[in-house]
Chain A
Amino acid sequence: MPSKDTTTEKNETTGNLVTVYIMGKPYEVPSELTIMKAQEYAGYRLIRGVGCRGGFCGACTTIYRKREDYKLYIDLACQTKVEDGMYLVQIPFVPAEKPQWNLEDLEANSDSIIHFFPEITRCVSCNACTQACPQNLSPMRAIQAIRRNDLKMAADLSFDCVSCGACSVRCPAEITHYHVFQLVRRLVGRYVQKRAEHTAERVKEIEAGEYDADMDILVGLPEEELKELFVRIREGNPLQLPEREVGKHD
């Protein structure tokens, strides 16, 4: 019987060590590591600046410079490999208040957005936000789409935003893009996209109790009968309950 400890030897590295400066202090870490894992390798237990570790949550925004390179880079620590001579720091939090709104009181237009975020009118289109975005989105284009009252385009352009806040740190107009985009997307989802009629219809049927009697029968059937029913519906057949009155929804 195999056991889990034999599938591989633990913890060998064939890679080189590189020097990274974590908040200025040099550490030697294996070159294969991500910035996040390099910090852990160096002994930092992360609480801030860490989240899903898979590029989805935007918690691990990291700022760094490379050797002999003046440029300031912003990336997600869990998605970026260390490089020799890298100076880095994690951003624990991006300071910004999220205004409170009630979607039901708003209309889907740029005035609604500007009401909460008048600063978006200060955008000078410098595009620093785009250069900062670890997701390769263009917050500037989305902000300008709002100015054109094209909320759908702004929602589409910002859909993959993980709210890391990198753009907001760099913005000279002091826009908090991720809060702006959240409002835009909700307005589009609520008012621009059409409603799913078939979903509402099914909700009505269920609430009217149209499935209750059949459900009572179904959940009481023995497992063998259920398996037979499943094989039949799996082939695309409509569901036929055994020995019952004909239901309304067949």
Chain B
Amino acid sequence: MLYYPGCSLRNSYPEFEKSALETCTRLGIDLAEIPEWNCCGVNFSLSDNIMRHLGAVRTLISAQEMPDLSGDEKVVALCSMCYNVMKRVNLTLKEDAEALENVNLFIDDEVDYRANLEVIHFLQLLRDDIGFDHLSDCVTVPLKGLKIAPYYGCALIRPESIAIDAPENPSIMEEFIRSVGADPVDYPYKTECCGNYHTVMRKEIVELRSKVIVDSAKLAGADLVVSTCPLCTYNLRLGVRALEEKTPILFFSQILALSLGVNPHLSPEREKNVRELLEGMKSYAK
């Protein structure tokens, strides 16, 4: 399995990557990091111009040229924004022969991209390659009684062509939450946008939206919210600074790590709250 980390978790949210890598070791998933991967091009994520996405193409070429590949490998991303951009670029190149040719002509300092890789998200890896049933069997510390609100945001499920689940009412995160022994919380804002890059120039937009999302999850009884995206996490935490003490927002990989008994890499300011939550549960009382 070829692994694409992405800039945000490498720079700002190491707990996301570290907890995920520990779970892979436990689950026997062999991830090979793509050498010299580029930024996925998230700044231009909404651009249809393939020339704005040369970084993603170069990363795919680098992956394609890794040694000992069978030729139809999957590239797995943890960050849902990276997934979104990489998947869309890859899809364009698979479906649009002219775009592929143009890009290959433009990138004259590399070999051609043959467009035979697949881009998937880590949740898909868990669902399709490991299987949630099998994952359940691997759980050593079921998070029984913990109420977890899944937050999808946009990137995993929009646009439809690249969605990892039904865009209108996805359930993959709920299935994941059940497989680690916890209870998913249903709430109406799970696929609402967090405000994304408005966080740079118009913070008030993000604060408002995030507050609505987290309030809604909390009203539905959530102990904590899990996210798949560094930017969403940043934004949700922004909007709920006051609430967060009671409603931690964690990465899904940290929940997985807890259930597998490996280091969830909780940051010190969140460690205490989460431990308190867990100690309230029978299964975690040793």
Q: Which residues of A contact B (CB under 8 A)?
A: 109-111, 121-127, 130-131, 141, 144-145, 147-149
A148 to B37, Cβ gap below 8 A?
yes
> In the complex, which of the residues B36, B51, B52, B57 contacts A144, with contact meaning CB atoms closer than 8 Å?
B36
Q: Min CB distance, B125 to chain A, in Å?
A: 22
A127 to B107, Cβ gap below 8 A?
yes
A111 to B12, Cβ gap below 8 A?
yes
Most buried by B among A121, A125, A131, A149: A125
B107 to A147, Cβ gap below 8 A?
no
A126 to B39, Cβ gap below 8 A?
no
Note all chain A residues with C-beta closer than 8 A to B98: none
Q: Min CB distance, B80 to chain A, in Å?
A: 18
- 10 A-B interface contacts by CB (under 8 A): A109-B11, A125-B39, A125-B41, A126-B106, A130-B109, A131-B109, A144-B38, A148-B7, A148-B36, A149-B7
> In the complex, which of the residues B11, B38, B53, B109 contacts A149, with contact meaning CB atoms closer than 8 Å?
B11
B52 to A124, Cβ gap below 8 A?
yes
> In the complex, which of the residues B36, B53, B109 contacts A127, with contact meaning CB atoms closer than 8 Å?
B109
Note all chain B residues with C-beta closer than 8 A to A110: 7, 11
A126 to B51, Cβ gap below 8 A?
yes
Note all chain A residues with C-beta closer than 8 A to B38: 125, 144, 147
Could you tell me the distance between the alpha carbons of A65 and B200 in the complex, rounded to whole angstroms?
Answer: 42
Note all chain A residues with C-beta closer than 8 A to B36: 141, 144-145, 148
Q: Min CB distance, A221 to chain B, in Å?
A: 59
Q: For chain B, residues 42 to 86, give those with C-beta under 8 angstroms from any C-beta of chain A.
A: 43-44, 51-55, 57-58
B58 to A125, Cβ gap below 8 A?
yes
> In the complex, which of the residues B5, B43, B52 contacts A121, with contact meaning CB atoms closer than 8 Å?
B43
Give A122's nearest chain B residue, CB to CB: B43
Chain B contact residue count (CB 8 A cutoff): 22
Note all chain A residues with C-beta closer than 8 A to B43: 121-122
**Contact status of A126 and B10, CB under 8 A, knowing A141-B36, A144-B36, A144-B38:** no
Q: Secondary structure of the B side of the interface?
A: helix
B39 to A144, Cβ gap below 8 A?
yes
> In the complex, which of the residues B12, B37, B51 contacts A124, with contact meaning CB atoms closer than 8 Å?
B51
Could you tell me the distance between the alpha carbons of A247 and B38 in the complex, rounded to whole angstroms?
Answer: 59
Most buried by B among A111, A122, A124, A141: A124
Note all chain B residues with C-beta closer than 8 A to A130: 109
Q: Min CB distance, A115 to chain B, in Å?
A: 12
A144 to B10, Cβ gap below 8 A?
no
Could you tell me the distance between the alpha carbons of A149 and B17 in the complex, rounded to whole angstroms?
Answer: 14
Note all chain B residues with C-beta closer than 8 A to A121: 39, 43
Give B10's nearest chain A residue, CB to CB: A149
Note all chain A residues with C-beta closer than 8 A to B57: 125
Give B12's nearest chain A residue, CB to CB: A111
Could you tell me the distance between the alpha carbons of A111 and B230 in the complex, rounded to whole angstroms?
Answer: 15
A144 to B55, Cβ gap below 8 A?
yes
* Further contacts, 11 of them, CB under 8 A, given A125-B38, A127-B54, A130-B109: A110-B7, A111-B11, A122-B43, A124-B41, A124-B54, A125-B54, A126-B106, A148-B7, A148-B10, A148-B36, A149-B10
Q: For chain B, residues 11 to 40, give those with C-beta under 8 angstroms from any C-beta of chain A.
A: 11-12, 36-39
Note all chain B residues with C-beta closer than 8 A to A124: 41, 44, 51-55
Could you tell me the distance between the alpha carbons of A124 and B41 in the complex, rounded to whole angstroms?
Answer: 6
Q: Min CB distance, B197 to chain A, in Å?
A: 11
Give A118's nearest chain B residue, CB to CB: B200
Give B42's nearest chain A residue, CB to CB: A121
Q: Min CB distance, A71 to chain B, in Å?
A: 12
Could you tell me the distance between the alpha carbons of A59 and B198 in the complex, rounded to whole angstroms?
Answer: 41
Could you tell me the distance between the alpha carbons of A111 and B11 in the complex, rounded to whole angstroms?
Answer: 7
B54 to A147, Cβ gap below 8 A?
no
Could you tell me the distance between the alpha carbons of A110 and B10 in the complex, rounded to whole angstroms?
Answer: 10
Note all chain A residues with C-beta closer than 8 A to B5: 148
Could you tell me the distance between the alpha carbons of A129 and B12 in the complex, rounded to whole angstroms?
Answer: 27
Most buried by A among B37, B53, B54: B54
Q: Min CB distance, A127 to chain B, in Å?
A: 6
